Structure 1
Amino acid sequence: MARFDRYFLYQLTVLFGFFSLVLVSVYWINRAVILFDQLLADGQSAGVFLTLTLYTLPNVIRMVLPISAFVAAVYVTNRLTTESELVVAQATGMSPWRMARPVFLFGLLVCVLMMVLVHFLVPMSRTQLAERSEEIEANVAARMLTEGQFLHPAKGITFYIREITREGELNDVFLADARADTTRTDYMATRAYLVQEGGAPKLVMVDGSAQTYQREDGRLLVTTFDSFTYDVGALMENSGRTRTDVREYDTLTLFSPDQAALDATRRDPSNFYYEGHLRIAQPLNPLIAALIGFSALMVGSFSRFGVWKQIGVAVVLIIVLQAIENGTADVARSDASLWPLIYLPTILGLVIVATLLWLAGRPALFKRVPRANASDVAPGTAGVAT
């Protein structure tokens, strides 16, 4: 018995690691490509790109773990069934509940990993990612020092540099400021320099002109200058995030948010309570997914054509549970008093697993009763009145 458990658990763990690696790579690369385009447009280095993508990795793993656990359980159970290993185990007297023990242990291991992610690693990575992104957004110099491209470091601002010399001189600079509702000012200069003054960046433009267009009366005012200083620090005030994400806080704060957290997030306490209960329910998802994948394939009698029908049932059950989870999440997020709805998909999942294992222990329910043929009638009974 113990050898069977170790063998089954080993197969599940190996396949789980393989599918997790594949799925994490797919999700991570997909997000990394989008992030790479954004950072490349802002003129960031490869080191910044690598740092930000590493911060997104814990959340990607969190999303992938339930899927990997389900796929691993289905794949291993299907293979052991087609190779008649589970049939031999049943022939020795092992019930479906007994054979589900290694799957249960496997699900608990993934649950522990999921708990570490949702309670510690994911909130920490979200905080670090938000802070690092805010630093990058506030670094106007890095976003503006890109030649040959029209950049938008802030809303209503358009900036263009034809060439940047090795000495840091900006040649042929164009800056359009359309943040005001009544006016628009375009600055053009043959040379410019980005300097630090009083801890804030300043753009010093040399030998240029400023064209101010007044939208109300349609007048255009042109001013030429030998040198002009533009306050780039004003762009830094408009950049950055305006509020903190609720998902960045630790679990204890989610269940007892103080006024500072409410002000920083500008959210109601119901949003904190929802996220806190969600972190308790989420670690159980891999366990439910793995048990459904196993128990669904155990229902029915052995068939040489495989268990494709059972695999389809397992996939449908997972999709239905996910749809229920999405629906209950929207309701619980809007009303704090309905937080028990978050645990409804988990309870339904356990009920489904128990029902499937109960059906798997009664294969006679799925066997067809053969019909009696005329040749099976006992001799001498023909013509007897009924």
Structure 2
Amino acid sequence: MKLIERYIFFRAATAFLMSAAVLTAIIWLSQALRDMDLVTAKGQTLLIFFSMTSLVLPTLVMVIAPFAVMIAAAYTLNGLNADSELVVINATGASPWVVLKPILVLGIVATLIGGGLSLYAAPHALGTLRGYISQVRADLVARIVKEGIFTEIEDGMTFHIQKREPNGIMRGLFLSDERDPARHVVYSSEFAQIVETGEGTFLKMDRGTIQQQNHNVDDNGQRIDNQEDFGSVNIIEFDSYAIDLSKFTGVGETASRYFKPRERSTAYLINPDTDDPIYQAFADRSRAELHDRFANPLYNLVFATVITAFLAQVRTTRERRGSAIVIAVIIATSLRMMGFASMSLAVQSAWAVPIMYLVPVVSILLSLWVILTGRRIILFDNLIRSIELFNERISNRLSALTGKPDIQGAQ
């Protein structure tokens, strides 16, 4: 790189790192505060809390990176224009490539980082997060439920044990499940313990009974019988019985013991086990997820080139620079929304998969053509001019009403 190109690159790279760090910290903090009940309500350690919340960072950085590139490119090019550095560069007869190259290199670096996150780091982290969820599921019973105390782990779900052995075996377990208004189920057993298997986390009970009582409910799911009908109680004795603890954690869909497509490795999505019932249930979503992992990083280049196409040319007034930034941001964001929409369409039908690549690739090529040929898009130039005239009229009217001179217009 030439000296001026290195100057532009390091200025843009610094803005990119600062923007990415700030945006990631803000979003991660909001996510962490939302999951604070892991410590306060579910009895988890701070280590588990920070480990789980930090596992979403690769996904956050992957999503935030294009917007950080957009902020960095806009900040750098607007600063060059405001300090008349773009004027000097153009006056020397330098080609548009001098300004484009450092921003393009930043976009390529961000694309490579995003590719690594999208293809490997993010799915690996989300898969690891699934393991932590299973651990939380087991700890919910193992840590919260205390000896001799009736513990309500969620509305309608009550645990009680008489004694906990050092080897993890719980004696005298009582479990009442009243979450379904139409049915009340009571589990009791002499011994119980938490068992981890390849299919999930289970509460294994030995030598006990299951008591089930059905109730009448109205159309709104409300119980309508006021008196207990003990004749409707069914009692089942068992020697050994296991319950999937995912039903009792209250963590909803994310408690599934199965890996969703976004948690699968890229190698698995490329060469899946077609006999896997989970893959068969999510085959369309798996296809869209695989192609999104390759298409998603390209939006770093889309944002870099689109912003450069609007701001690499000299703007003579502050209003035109501001209007150009607004229009460039709107267009770049709209293209990203089109990318999200194309992924949703790809879930529904395979014909939409090429659109996932066409949107970023065409945007990049068109932006590069505008930059390297030095052309101005008449439609957007006219729009910028209209916005500038509109702002000037509003400013003049406000000045007339207040009786103050229009300093901004005079400049």
**What residue ranges of structure 1 are gaps of 5+ in the alignment?**
205-209, 224-228, 369-386
CA contact (8 A) 1:82 1:306 kept: no
Structure 1 segment 1-386 matched on structure 2, within 5 A: 2-142=2-142, 144-145=144-145, 150-152=152-154, 157-159=156-158, 175-178=175-178, 183-184=183-184, 196=193, 214-215=214-215, 218-220=228-230, 233-236=242-245, 238=247, 240-260=255-275, 262-299=276-313, 301-303=315-317, 305=319, 307-357=321-371, 360-361=374-375
Give the deviation of 1:360 after TM superposition: 4.0
TM-score, normalization by structure 2: 0.71
Q: Secondary structure at the match of 1:74?
A: helix
Amino acid at match of 2:14: V
The 2-side partners of 1:230 and 1:44 are apart by 32
CA contact (8 A) 2:158 2:175 kept: yes
Give the deviation of 1:363 after TM superposition: 10
Shift in CA distance, 134/318, structure 1 to aligned 2, threshold 3 Å: same
Larger deviation, residues 291-300 vs 69-78:
291-300
Q: Secondary structure at the match of 1:159?
A: strand
The 1-side partners of 2:360 and 2:104 are apart by 15
CA contact (8 A) 2:138 2:194 kept: no
The 1-side partners of 2:259 and 2:245 are apart by 18
Give the deviation of 1:265 after TM superposition: 3.4
Q: Secondary structure at the match of 1:259?
A: coil
Give the deviation of 1:52 after TM superposition: 0.4
The 2-side partners of 1:305 and 1:143 are apart by 61
Amino acid at match of 2:153: L
Q: Secondary structure at the match of 2:55?
A: helix
Shift in CA distance, 215/25, structure 1 to aligned 2, threshold 3 Å: same
Give the deviation of 1:325 after TM superposition: 1.3
**RMSD, matched Cα:** 4.3
Q: Secondary structure at the match of 2:157?
A: strand
**What residue ranges of structure 2 are gaps of 5+ in the alignment?**
197-201, 217-224, 249-254, 386-411
CA contact (8 A) 2:62 2:117 kept: yes
Q: Indicate the structure (1 or 2) with the bigger Cα radius of gyration.
A: 1
Shift in CA distance, 132/265, structure 1 to aligned 2, threshold 3 Å: farther
CA contact (8 A) 1:56 1:125 kept: yes
Give the deviation of 1:338 after TM superposition: 3.1
CA contact (8 A) 1:55 1:125 kept: yes
The 2-side partners of 1:195 and 1:288 are apart by 57
The 1-side partners of 2:145 and 2:321 are apart by 60
